[in-house]
DNA sequence: AAAACTATCAACCGCGTAAGT
DNA sequence: CACTTACGCGGTTGATAGTTT
């Protein structure tokens, strides 16, 4: 089936719109309303195709368009929605009054995407990219909590940073080290056994999964934990699989847009991880001297270039929301946004049914 | 001062699809 | 059911402004 051209392009103007053309379009739409874009240019006396007119109106001339810099809240909303919807710019724009899909798409590609990359976060999967981190440093700091890993970190050395299999092993070991911190069946975490088991196993989940479908995230987490999906790639361990789909209330999908009406977009957390009245959960600060803390220290040092921006023992501020940093929505710097986003990224939740003290 | 480089964003292009015939 | 039309979407381009060398 051949596709008919949207309009006869012979003699039609292209390129930037002039103020006169804008005025003609505005005047026409004010009189007749938008729509029937095919005939609109002819009726309005414009030498443009209907498509161009529609684009000019929806992206620039519409009176309800909000212009200017994106606020912190808007940016956070975009990131959260993108983690759920992907590149569905129109669906994201529908949640941001006054912003167009084109504007959001541009802002994503020119600002947010780059910032996520700088932070070592894959902008497609929203998962941390361990290949961007200095893993040997992380391993070393983690070894302070678990001397049994010390030899392993030096054993892995710099080459590990470029070997996907070793990266996976390191990731698994780190996650298991975390478990050991939590006194969960230490026998399982004999580093030698792990090394043998993991090296002989092809069942290690990929550490970095480009273009991953969120539905396919099956990274296990300790039973009873509710982990942010973007953490699941960073911290993989055994037992209970989790799908990010579980973290999204799918009860009210908009049939026309396919957009989940209940997606939490105003929460400061990265994605609403199922905290609801039926399943109350608490947000935990990262335990001192834990794997998380050492990872964060390494992460902040190596990726962000500043020290201990996340909650530290000397900082009374909990690591649980963007409000931690009291970011001014209009004057926040790129760095502040990175910090805040990172804090959201690394937040995790523990169900109340679990005694947190058991893990600290 | 000027060339080279980079960032930004308006606009275009092609495709998918719903609605109409 | 086949085909056409119109619209909307997402990816990409290119002009321009700003910055660096």
How would DSSP label each residue in A119-164? TTB-TTT--B-GGGS-HHHHHHHHHHH-GGGHHHHHHHTGGGGG-H
Decide if pLDDT at A327 tops 60: no
Residue A145: exposed, middle, or buried by beta-carbon count in 10 A (0-12, 13-18, 19+)?
middle
pLDDT of residue A10: 58
In sequence order, what DSSP letters do the residues of A309-346 get, joined into one string? -S--TT--S-SS-GGGGT--TTT--HHHHHHHHHHHHT
Q: Which residue has the higher pLDDT, A83 or A313?
A: A83
Closest nucleotide to A15's CA, by C1' atom? B11
Q: Which residue has the higher pLDDT, A206 or A62?
A: A62
Closest nucleotide to A93's CA, by C1' atom? C9
Q: Which of A308, A315, A310 is nearest to A345 (CA)?
A: A310
- CA–CA dist A9, A334 (Å, integer): 43
For the whole model, what pTM was predicted? 0.53
Would you list the domain boundaries of chain A?
11-63, 69-143
Query: Which residue's CA shows the smallest distance to C1' of C2?
Result: A1
CATH of domain A11-63: 1.10.10.60
Distance of A302 CA from B16 C1′ (whole Å): 44
Same CATH topology for A11-63 and A69-143: the answer is: yes
pLDDT of residue A340: 66
Distance of A38 CA from C7 C1′ (whole Å): 10
In sequence order, what DSSP letters do the residues of A249-272 get, joined into one string? --TTB-TTT--BTT---S-SSSS-
Q: What is the pLDDT of residues A121-133, one digit of tens each?
A: 888 888 877 655 5
Distance of A328 CA from C16 C1′ (whole Å): 31
3-state secondary structure of A235: coil
Query: Which residue's CA shows the smallest distance to C1' of B10?
Result: A16
Cβ neighbours of A148 (radius 10 Å): 14
CA A300, distance to chain mean position in Å, is: 17
Q: What percent of chain A has pLDDT over 90?
A: 0
Closest nucleotide to A106's CA, by C1' atom? B9
The CATH class given to the A69-143 domain equals mainly alpha
Query: Which residue's CA shows the smallest distance to C1' of B11?
Result: A15
- Residues by CB within 7 Å of nucleic chain B, which ones? A 3, 6, 9, 13-17, 48, 51-52, 55-56, 59-60, 102-103, 105-107, 109-111, 114
- Residues by CB within 7 Å of nucleic chain C, which ones? A 1-4, 6, 15-16, 35-38, 50-51, 54, 87-91, 101-102, 105-106, 109
- CA–CA dist A171, A173 (Å, integer): 5
Tell how many helices (H) and how many strands (E) occur in chain A. 14, 2
Q: Which of A345, A314, A308, A339 is nearest to A325 (CA)?
A: A339
């Amino acid at each position: 089936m051949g596709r008919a051209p949207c309009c006869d392009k012979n003699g039609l103007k292209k390129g930037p719109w002039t103020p006169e053309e804008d005025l003609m379009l505005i005047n026409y739409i004010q009189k007749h309303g938008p729509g029937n874009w095919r005939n609109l240019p002819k009726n309005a006396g414009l030498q443009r195709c209907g498509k161009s007119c529609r684009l000019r109106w929806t992206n620039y001339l519409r009176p309800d368009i909000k212009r200017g810099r994106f606020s912190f809240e808007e940016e956070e909303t975009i990131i959260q929605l993108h983690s759920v919807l992907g590149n569905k710019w129109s669906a994201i724009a529908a949640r941001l009054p006054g912003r167009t899909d084109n504007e959001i798409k541009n802002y994503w590609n020119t600002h947010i995407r780059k910032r996520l990359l700088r932070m070592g976060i894959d902008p497609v999967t929203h998962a941390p990219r361990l290949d961007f981190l200095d893993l040997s440093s992380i391993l070393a700091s983690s070894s302070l909590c678990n001397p049994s890993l010390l030899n392993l970190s030096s054993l892995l050395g710099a080459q590990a940073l470029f070997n996907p299999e070793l990266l996976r092993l390191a990731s698994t070991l780190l996650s298991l080290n975390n478990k050991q911190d939590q006194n969960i069946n230490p026998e399982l975490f004999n580093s030698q056994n792990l090394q043998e088991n993991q090296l002989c196993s092809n069942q290690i989940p990929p550490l970095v999964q480009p273009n991953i479908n969120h539905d396919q995230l099956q990274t296990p987490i300790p039973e009873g934990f509710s982990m942010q999906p973007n953490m699941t790639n960073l911290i993989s361990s055994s037992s209970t699989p989790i799908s990010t789909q579980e973290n999204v209330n799918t009860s009210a999908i908009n049939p026309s847009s396919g957009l989940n009406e209940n997606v939490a977009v105003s929460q400061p957390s990265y994605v609403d991880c199922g905290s609801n009245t039926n399943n109350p959960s608490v947000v935990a600060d990262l335990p001192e001297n834990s794997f998380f803390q050492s990872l964060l220290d390494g992460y902040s040092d190596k990726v962000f270039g500043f020290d201990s921006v996340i909650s530290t023992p000397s900082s009374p501020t909990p690591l649980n929301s963007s409000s931690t940093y009291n970011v001014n929505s209009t004057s926040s710097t790129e760095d502040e946004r990175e910090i805040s986003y990172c804090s959201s990224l690394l937040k995790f939740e523990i169900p109340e049914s679990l005694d947190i003290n058991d893990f600290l």
